[in-house]
Structure 1
Amino acid sequence: MDNNKVKQIHDYGQSIWLDFIDRKIIFSGELKKLIDEDGVRGVTSNPAIFEKAISSSSDYDQDIARLTNEGLSTDEVFFGLAVSDIKLACDVLAPVYNQEDVVGADGYVSLEVSPFLARDTQATIKQARELWEQVDKDNVMIKIPGTQAGIIAIETAISEGINVNVTLLFSLIRYEAVVEAYISGLEKREKQGLPINHVSSVASFFLSRIDILVDPFLDKNGLGDLRGQVAIASAKTAYQIYKKLFSSERWKKLSEKGAVPQRLLWASTSSKDPAFKDTRYVEALIGPDTVNTIPLQTLEAFRDHGDPASRLEEDLDSAASILEKIKAGGIDMEAVAVQLENEGIDKFTEPFQKLLDAIEKQKEQAGV
């Protein structure tokens, strides 16, 4: 077994993706190093990540001026910059995607549709198509939020052969709807006689945000001993749903045609409560056929003092008991999920608007 603790996670069947991208990490060779030394097998991005990359660096100034001079709007300038970075990252990860044993098992880079479209089905579909065509790489995933409006967009994108990273999932009920959209999309595609063996998707279940919201309610309801446990219990329950849905007779028909399951991806896995270990959400949910996307700081922490072991199916009775206890204590997890979804959209919309404002400012300073 490799001594690198991050790389050891792969021995338990889980893929580690990096939740970060900028030009420096690509051009410096650091991303390639993370792939080679830590076994990183994918990259995810979001508006907040791009906002930080573009606003805090001069690396993008020339391209902003060039794209503006081509007559692009501020929104189009951003996606021009983002598509360029995503293409570069896709190329770096191409060897992972093109592995001889299982082509397309990993090696994906995710690019998100505009957060302004989170509640607009048709606009989301339109932009997902555009971004898919602009990146034009087999190993890109288009991130579509798992909102009610996003469900139809997800099914449509999958039916058109677009790889999808479903983002902003907090609810077990919504997760089942996302799996239904994925399977239905593949069924539509298969009925049209189109190949389904290279269509890939992940369902991104956000974790630490659940505990940050729920823990204060636990204290108020006499359930303080469950602090920091609800998100992990929810994730373990989601994994059991995953195993059930992707072992059904309905799924087996697609599997026989080469379809691959939509893996669960654990997101928001940096520990935001200093009372808990900084690798908590990584260690607790290591298990087969899953993905964990982690920020660079969390990856470095796990490399230093993480404890790799397969724990995703440990204490399942305890996980079920935790969810029953909070329900009995008056905490409605579906209501929690709705609040978190709305807050999640805001958390991406605000930096996206800030990013557009920063690009606009840079355009003015450059006189374009």
Structure 2
Amino acid sequence: MAESKLKQIHNFGQSIWLDFIDRKLMYSGELKRLIEEDGVRGVTSNPAIFEKAISSSSDYDTDIAELARSDKTTEQIFFDLAVSDIKQACDLLWPVYNKEDVVGADGYVSLEVSPFLANDTQATINQARALWKAVGKNNAMIKIPGTESGLIAIQTAISEGININVTLLFSLDRYEAVAEAYISGLEKRVADGLPVAHVSSVASFFLSRIDILVDPFLDQSGLAELKGEVAIASARLSYQIYKRMFSSDRWKKLAEKGAVPQRLLWASTGNKNPAFKNTRYVEALIGPDTVNTMPLETLEAYRKHGEPASRLEGNLNESSVIMEKIKAAGIDMDALTKQLEEEGIEKFNTPFRQLLDAIEKQR
């Protein structure tokens, strides 16, 4: 049997993670098959994914009924359900994580803190600690939004040895601040005499949402030829920031102690514009030392008609020119990425409220 096109992406140094989780996927053996046949090396989740999983399935009813007899809050019941799923996924991905040659290169499963805490630094830190302890797996990652309030939480969690998936990144400046928080967190561990070799993190740069918001402004500014290009240009420029920060003398001191770079992760990779190929955000950003997390639909589409090749560092000059043209046209990317961050938080708040309401009704 020919090697899966998804698996071929690994030949170019990129890891494929699945942006989906539910019990059917695990109980049926489908996740195990995706790991073995398609080379899926990690799983990401978010409130919207869990809302769909729990609200559209009876797989959780028995557990909800059991937990409802306790004095737990509805949110505590949700996190009990989610932690159970994350543990099982971690076990399925443990062989990927625990490879003898490179322990911890992949095999991670991400669980997000409550989206209600996106602007509360201390509450985020407290919940990250609690979820990390509850899952109790070295190949778990706790997702923290890369908001301004989240930066200190990220640095603190890393300094405590908690693996972190930083989510909701849209701007280059914020990504650089997140990478700084990761490095600073590791430096604190070193200063405290603690090991850094098995602390891991990814920085999730969201793609399709950028183009959906920016493209109408391009039409208005006479730049219609750049539609669908801004997110990819931003991602390619963020990769240059990554290479600079994780090749500095400051970083080399940490690397000598076994620290690993915080990889960029391409998220929101399901194309939302029917005018473009549905694997657009996969094809354009294949490159070394990165991760692409795909919803099932995108993963299946790439398996059918993907064209694996290393393209991440292609057209770098063109990417800079695109951003310069946008600025010259008076399109304020700082304001737009701030809007995206705020909308992103609400896009997770809404399904999380719906999820808690659904659990409450079952109680």
TM-score band, normalised by the shorter chain? over 0.9
Counterpart residue number, 2:8: 8
1:42 aligns with 2:42: yes
- Deviation above 2 Å: which 4+ runs of structure 1? none
Shift of 1:339: 0.3
Partner amino acid, structure 2, of 1:344: G
Structure 1 residue 3, shift from structure 2 partner? 2.8
Q: Secondary structure at the match of 2:253?
A: helix
Q: Distance in 2 between matches of 1:2 and 1:9?
A: 14
Aligned residue for 1:142, secondary structure, equals strand
Alignment partner, residue 195 of structure 1: 195
The separation in 2 between residues aligned to 1:126 and 1:4, in whole angstroms, is: 41
Q: Which residue of 2 aligns with 1:26?
A: 26
Rounded Cα–Cα distance in structure 2 between residues aligned with 1:322 and 1:328? 10
Partner secondary structure for residue 186 of structure 1: helix
Find out whether 1:256 has 2:262 as its counterpart. no
1:190-219: CA deviation from partner (whole Å, max 9, x where unpaired): 111101000000000000000000000000
Matching residue's letter, 2:274: P
Post-superposition shift, 1:148? 0.3
- What corresponds to 1:366 in structure 2? none
Which deviations, in whole Å up to 9, do the C-alpha atoms of 1:83-139 show, x marking residues without a partner? 000000000000000011100000000000000000000000000000000000000
Structure 1 residue aligned with 2:335: 335
RMSD across aligned C-alpha pairs, in angstroms? 0.8
| Whole-Å separation in 1 of the counterparts to 2:155 and 2:334 | 22
Q: Which residue of 1 aligns with 2:206?
A: 206
Task: Find the aligned partners of 2:133 and 2:68 in 1 and give their Cα distance.
Answer: 21
Cα deviation 1:51-79 (Å, max 9, x = unaligned): 00000011111111111212111000000
Instruction: Measure the CA separation in 2 of the matches of 1:242 and 1:61.
Output: 44
Q: Is 1:157–1:164's contact at 8 Å kept on the other side of the alignment?
A: yes
For the 8 Å contact 1:157–1:185, the answer to whether it is kept is yes
Q: CA deviation at 1:2?
A: 5.5
Name the CA distance, whole Å, in 1 between partners of 2:305 and 2:297. Answer: 12
Give SS of 2:185's match.
helix
1:76 matches 2:85: no
Secondary structure at the counterpart of residue 292 of structure 1: strand
Query: Residue deviations 1:30-57, cap 9 Å, x none?
Result: 0000000000000000000000000001
Aligned position for 2:271: 271
Inter-partner Cα distance in structure 2 for 1:158 and 1:75: 25
Separation in 2, partners of 1:72, 1:328: 54
Alignment match, 2:360: 360
| Structure 1 counterpart SS, 2:291 | strand
CA contact (8 A) 1:2 1:8 kept: no
Give matches, 1:1-368, under 5 Å.
Answer: 3-363=3-363
Q: Deviations over 1:221-242 (max 9, x none)?
A: 0100000000000000000000
Aligned residues: 363
Letter matched to residue 286 of structure 2: I
Query: In structure 1, how many angstroms separate the alpha carbons of the residues matched to 2:266 and 2:320?
Result: 19
The one-letter code matched in structure 2 to 1:334 is: D
Q: Secondary structure at the match of 1:109?
A: strand
